[in-house]
Chain A
Amino acid sequence: MPDRGTLLRVEQLRKVYESPTGDVEAIGDLSFTMDAGELVCIVGPSGCGKTTLLKCLAGLLRPTGGVVEMHGTPVTGPSPAMAVVFQEYGRSLYPWLTVRGNVELPLRHKKLSRAQRDTLVTDALDAVGLAHAARSHPWQLSGGMQQRVAIARAVAYQPEVLIMDEPFAAVDAQTRADLEDLVRELHARRGISVLFVTHDIDESVYLGQRVLVLSHAPTRVREDVAVDLPAERDQITTRALPRFTELRTHVYGEIQRAKRGHNVAPRPAP
């Protein structure tokens, strides 16, 4: 893995949506850092502004206050070092392009030769197991496969960090398990840092090296839980570990308290 320096630093991030009927404070005061090569999950009660946070990080929304920094440089717009996988795969893939065309599109403005571009696309499709579907259109594929295309598109872009917004919320449980393992594998093999937003507590513990638990809106980081599970994870054995159960129970409790609105000082992990 490359250097373990700080990759992403979020400091006192604040986002207020202004509207004629009154301002809505989506993010209160949110700070955290993420090291290069980490896989960090963010969970929080529904409606806590996870998507807002993510759009601020990706440079798609301008925060009201605070800073987001990549390698010490403020993020003011979409960065070539980040790739986003959206929750709504059906609305984020271009139906008039083939699978290959979709993966290739973000590479067109990069200064690459045709051959280099082709290699990147083929390699990314291979990595998500969709080499055979390159010439299909996204709408000819199942939901899980469509989300794989979106992941391949992000991987081919060669970002330093992959930002994923509840990417598996709309797929069935078996597909979701496969996709979770795919994310862990991409992280382990390619050394891509991953910031994974989810509402699923088990998923966050299974995937993450760290889990950031958010409070309800206006959002803050309620707790930063280190997931001390073995690096080699497996859907059956890892999820059966007593430590897994402890962690998920702990995160679950925190979220329940967050929902009830106890914005108390962070408590130490058990």
Chain B
Amino acid sequence: MTAYPGRTVTPPRRRAVGHRTAAGMLHALGLPVLLLVLWGLVATRTTSRFFPDPVTIADAFVDTWIGPAFVEDVLPSLARLGLGVAASIVLGVAAGTVIGLTPWLRELLEPLLEFLRAVPPPVLIPVMMILLGITDTMKVVVIVSGAVWPILLNTIEGVRGIDSVLTQTARSFRVTWWERLWFLVLPAASPRIMAGVRQALSVALILMVISEMFASSAGLGYRIAYFQRNYLIAEMWSGILLLGGVGVLLAVVFGLVERRVLRWYHGIREVNRA
């Protein structure tokens, strides 16, 4: 057998990781640090009690959140968020795959789905409160009712947009239904699915907070609203800071997962750019 000389195109090697991380940190943190310093300078000169200086807020942060509040308010909130996001992904991907693969169903449901998506999810909170009471279930349902749409609609689009040649290849080799789902449909739709999840995460975080601001007695959203009503301004700001931190953490975790799941997708784009 002749050995065919082959050339394997690999994406260009990355620069030294340590160097890159350091540079990245500088870029990411430089501006926030500068703004903090500015804020501190302004806060010392102003008499408004609504803008405490960063040190006061940092103190409030430690006093408020590190301790029992973390277990009583933060963890339950995060658990509801995680549950809501997980349920949204499972529901959105499952329903989106079925709808995307069934043309008549898609045509039937698309106008309805667009309408449901356009309804701002917070208006569902009073309805859900009547239906489900002020419970954890209600809060999770509220999160899902908002976060599921971007995942569902993106999955439908992703599944619908699968290249016909890929499908015909699977058909010609008599690949079974389950194999087609696992090795063709879901991976082919995964770039769109991940785009949907990214949107869903920010929607879910917003709904987590809002669902706790209405008649509730615990949770991050409840705490922030409570501090605000009781003029605990530094504490209120520290809660907002914590929420921002949660948002950033979510984005980082999502980024790591996405890099793994869509390695092939980014690889192709890198090769095409080169």
Q: Which of B165, B175, B267, B271 contacts A109 (CB 8 A)?
A: B175
Taking CB as reference atom, which chain B residue is nearest A55? B168
For the complex, what is the distance from the CA of A92 to the CA of B188, rounded to whole Å? 12
Decide if A133 touches B6 in the complex (CB within 8 Å): yes
Encode A203-218 as 1/0 by CB contact (under 8 A) with B: 0000000000000000
Decide if A129 touches B1 in the complex (CB within 8 Å): yes
Tell me if B21 is interfacial: C-beta within 8 Å of chain A. Answer: no
Interface size class of B (residues with CB under 8 A): 20 to 34
Decide if A60 touches B179 in the complex (CB within 8 Å): no
Chain A proximity of B91: nearest CB distance (Å): 24
- Complex contacts, B173 vs chain A, CB 8 Å: 78, 83, 105-106, 153, 157
For the complex, what is the distance from the CA of A14 to the CA of B174, rounded to whole Å? 24
Decide if B166 touches A92 in the complex (CB within 8 Å): yes
Interface size class of A (residues with CB under 8 A): 35 or more
Chain B proximity of A36: nearest CB distance (Å): 20
Q: Which of B7, B163, B171, B175 contacts A105 (CB 8 A)?
A: B175
Given contacts A92-B169, A94-B166, contact A142 B9 (CB under 8 A): yes
Tell me if A29 is interfacial: C-beta within 8 Å of chain B. Answer: no
* 30 intermolecular pairs with C-beta atoms under 8 Å apart: A60-B168, A60-B171, A60-B172, A78-B172, A91-B166, A92-B165, A92-B166, A92-B168, A94-B187, A96-B188, A96-B264, A105-B173, A105-B175, A105-B183, A106-B174, A109-B174, A109-B175, A128-B4, A129-B3, A129-B4, A132-B6, A137-B267, A139-B264, A139-B267, A140-B10, A140-B267, A140-B271, A141-B6, A142-B6, A148-B4
Q: Give 10 A-B pairs besides A86-B168, A140-B8 with Cβ atoms closer than 8 angstroms.
A: A78-B173, A83-B172, A86-B165, A95-B268, A109-B175, A129-B1, A130-B4, A132-B6, A136-B8, A140-B9
What is the interface of chain A, defined by CB distance below 8 A to chain B?
55, 58-60, 78, 80, 82-84, 86, 88, 91-92, 94-97, 105-106, 108-109, 126-130, 132-133, 136-137, 139-142, 145, 148, 153, 157, 178
